[in-house]
Amino acid sequence: MRETIFLRVLDATDKATALQAALADQTTAGPRRFALDPARFADIPMSSFAYWVSDRVRALFTTLPPFASDGRTARVGLQTGDDFRFVRAAWEVPVRGRLDQWFAFAKGGAYSPYYADIHLVVQWANDGQLMRNANHPRTGRMAAVLRNTQFYFRPGLTWTDRTSRALSVRPLRADTVFSHKGSGGFIPDHPLGAMAAMNSSVFDLLLSLLVGAGAGAARSYTAGTLASVPLPLDLADLEPPAHRAWSLKRGLDTAEETSHAFWLPALLQTEDASLAAGLAGWAARGAAVAAELAQLQATIDERCLQLYGLAAEDLASSGAELSADGPAEADEEDEVDETVGTIDAQAQVAELLSWQLGVVFGRFDLRLATGARTAPPEPEPFDPLPAEAPGLLPGGVVPADYPLAGAGAAVLVEDQGHPADLVARVEQVARVLWPETFDALQTEAAAILGVDTLRAWFANARSGFWAGHLRRYSRSSRTAPIYWMLSLPSQRYSVWLYYHRLTPDTLYAVLNDYVKPKLRREERRLVDLRQEGEPTPSRTQLKAREDQERLVDELRAFQDEVARVAPLWRPDLNDGVIINHAPLWRLVPHHKEWRKKLMECWAKLVAGEYDWAHLALHLWPERVIPKCATDRSLALAHGLDEVFWTANADGGASPRAVDPAQIEALIAERSSPAVKAALQSLLEAR
């Protein structure tokens, strides 16, 4: 054996001094000196230049079976080729669509070992028929890359493929499609035990020898790489702590309203007389969970040392540590997994108020807070995701004996004194829950939020409720708020719409039932102000007139814009939030970033980039329908496949010869002079 001396000073602050000390050290092996026969590099796949690990660690690659053995396999999944078209946030699509068109989509995400909610869905109806027929505009070939489709909808494990964080493995639920950014691992025996082993410090060490472990450097945890990492076969002892870790993290997720696990906000899962006490109670619960998770991770790490036949010094000599905490860098999607055990008081109060608003809109079920309805038992880690979280009002249907009058609204207004005033309706929910302490709790909530009144918080789109709602409902490049705030530039009046109750008549209701009556009231108020103090009004009276004139002018412009859009607007939830919201971009002056996104989306709709959308067919049938003759994915999207295409025996399709007169008839059936006039007015508006 011919040994070579290697010196390692990567972790030294002063590398020059450390190198000099290592050179002066004449011992065979020291903290920075390693003696190794270079032939041993061949023990590790790709002959990793891992001179600093012990012989026992290197030997594992030859003595233990790799991950991909004994029926275990790791696979890379779906690449849609057009996420904007085929991927949605889970809360964007109709509940019924979750059963036959949209399916859970594991696409990587934040560092979150043992548990993470799958918050995306992918359009995979009819075995991905739409995606299979969507061609790349330049190559003319299928844009999507459909890999390993035979493994879709199988329970397994998943992780983020490329990230600067450590590997974090969690269950891949049944009825889920996995992606090219969130690979799938399929384990016939003890899958939870495999999850625990893969989240251990030992596995992280072995994996780092193949992918590198530089601080902050991106690592690729591809299916092919993980397939080579040694993984023992007998993992049964790791199943109980892994299941417990999953359950603990899911328990905290029951307070996150965008999660499939949601039940009630944190402050309603504690039984305290004040918000401060509730915040303390939830923080204590989080701290207890964090402590138990750390202990579970330590147990898993110690058991993995035994399974792999290693000692703690094998990890220490390589720079690895037994730890439950992952690195702090953000992953490729810039998502940050909140540290278990921490608490943001303002965020918790905001989530409570968000839940109250959701109750008013008929999204969340008040009966869970009153005790009239109980949440279902905890599912198993690999069970299919529910179409609705347990905290939602089933089907969005308000029963006759519901404890809140008027629940299930589609439209609210921020307009003090109005029967549909948003703030008053939110307070109505609080009065049901806390009739005796309502006033004190409202004052306490405002103080925690740093505002004088809750009304001021709801009215302020930049730093109040709506800004937080926009952040909460933005995940993985999908910005999808479900409560829409349409307001005047001054934010002195706003109309709020609930996405899941939108209909083609919603804007007409806004116009006729809310905006026009509001304008008439304010115009009468302006007349009264102009008469006050005549013929010599005071400065205060003149100022009041000017303020009222600005309000009336803003309301008139708001009314005109709603009237302009109403005839052409036909929402379809399958198009997604931003496409449905895009025609209303002029009614969003209060948030520049969201307004800009809507403007850009509308411009692309006008330019024909999203002709697969139902809204595009509604507004431009003369443009979209002829395209269906050459683009089968458009024909499928708009229910015109049988008109323009003939199925082949091989599963493909050939274009039909269609009479131009038939195409003109199809266009005429879907055209409306009123829609065209409204569209022209909208396009010409400045």
Position 4 pLDDT exceeds 80? no
Q: What is the mean pLDDT of residues 248-271?
A: 95
Pick 388 or 211 by higher pLDDT.
388
pLDDT of residue 14: 73
Position 320 pLDDT exceeds 60? no
Return the axis-axis angle of helices 201-211 and 275-308, rounded to nearest 10°.
70
Other beta carbons less than 10 A from residue 276's beta carbon: 13
Structure tokens at 407: 């629940």
Q: What is the mean pLDDT of residues 521-547?
A: 93
Cis upstream peptide for 535 (omega within 30°): yes
> Helix (H, G, I), strand (E, B), or coil: what is residue 127?
helix
SS3 for 541-553 is: HHHHHHHHHHHHH
Q: How far apart are alpha carbons 447 and 469 in whole angstroms?
A: 20
The alpha carbon of residue 421 and the mean position of all alpha carbons in its chain are separated, in whole angstroms, by 29
| Confidence bin at 319 (pLDDT 50/70/90) | low
Q: What is the mean pLDDT of residues 157-177?
A: 92
Q: Check if the beta carbon of residue 195 is closer than 8 Å to that of residue 382.
A: no
Position 600 pLDDT exceeds 60? yes
Structure tokens at 168: 């974090």
Q: How far apart are alpha carbons 8 and 36 in whole angstroms?
A: 13
Q: How far apart are alpha carbons 202 and 493 in whole angstroms?
A: 59
pLDDT of residue 297: 97
Helix (H) or strand (E) holding 341: none
pLDDT of residue 686: 77
DSSP string, 17-56: HHHHHHHH--SSS-SSEEEE-GGGGGGSGGG---TTS-HH
Structure tokens at 603: 């411009």
Position 574 pLDDT exceeds 90? yes
Q: Check if the beta carbon of residue 426 is closer than 8 Å to that of residue 454.
A: yes
> Helix (H, G, I), strand (E, B), or coil: what is residue 307?
helix
CA dihedral (235, 238, 244, 246) in degrees, to 10, reads -50
| Confidence bin at 312 (pLDDT 50/70/90) | confident
| Confidence bin at 326 (pLDDT 50/70/90) | very low
- Side-chain half-sphere CA neighbours of 72 within 13 A: 27
Residue 469: which of 493, 496, 450, 488 has the closest Cα?
Answer: 496
DSSP state of 135: B
The alpha carbon of residue 627 and the mean position of all alpha carbons in its chain are separated, in whole angstroms, by 33
Residue 640: which of 88, 124, 130, 83 has the closest Cα?
Answer: 130
> Helix (H, G, I), strand (E, B), or coil: what is residue 366?
coil
- Per DSSP, what are the bridge partners of residue 497? 411, 484
The alpha carbon of residue 655 and the mean position of all alpha carbons in its chain are separated, in whole angstroms, by 38
Percent of the chain with pLDDT over 70: 88
This prediction has a pTM of 0.90
> Helix (H, G, I), strand (E, B), or coil: what is residue 581?
helix
**b/e burial code for range 75-88 (CB count within 10 A of at least 16 → b):** bbbbbbbebbbbbb
pLDDT of residue 39: 60
Q: What is the mean pLDDT of residues 91-96?
A: 87
CA dihedral (468, 472, 474, 476) in degrees, to 10, reads 140
**What percent of the chain is helix, strand and coil (3-state, nearest 5)?**
50, 10, 40
Q: Check if the beta carbon of residue 262 is closer than 8 Å to that of residue 254.
A: yes
Distances (CA, A) of 447 to 425, 435, 440, 454, 459: 20, 20, 11, 9, 16
Q: Check if the beta carbon of residue 244 is closer than 8 Å to that of residue 192.
A: no
Q: Check if the beta carbon of residue 150 is closer than 8 Å to that of residue 73.
A: no
Q: How far apart are alpha carbons 306 and 303 in whole angstroms?
A: 5
pLDDT of residue 680: 95
pLDDT of residue 338: 47
pLDDT one-digit tens code per residue, 10-51: 666 777 776 777 676 766 566 666 666 666 655 667 556 566
> Helix (H, G, I), strand (E, B), or coil: what is residue 631?
coil
Range with the poorest average pLDDT among 130-139, 221-230, 363-372, 431-440? 130-139
Percent of the chain with pLDDT over 90: 75
pLDDT one-digit tens code per residue, 398-454: 999 999 999 999 999 999 999 999 999 999 999 999 999 999 999 999 999 999 999
Q: How far apart are alpha carbons 353 and 160 in whole angstroms?
A: 33
Q: How far apart are alpha carbons 92 and 574 in whole angstroms?
A: 8
Residue in this structure with the two tokens 């999507």, named with its chain if needed:
144
Position 554 pLDDT exceeds 90? yes
Q: What is the mean pLDDT of residues 174-181?
A: 94
Amino acid (one-letter) located at 604? K
Query: What mean pLDDT, rounded, does the chain reach?
Result: 90
Structure tokens at 265: 């906000």
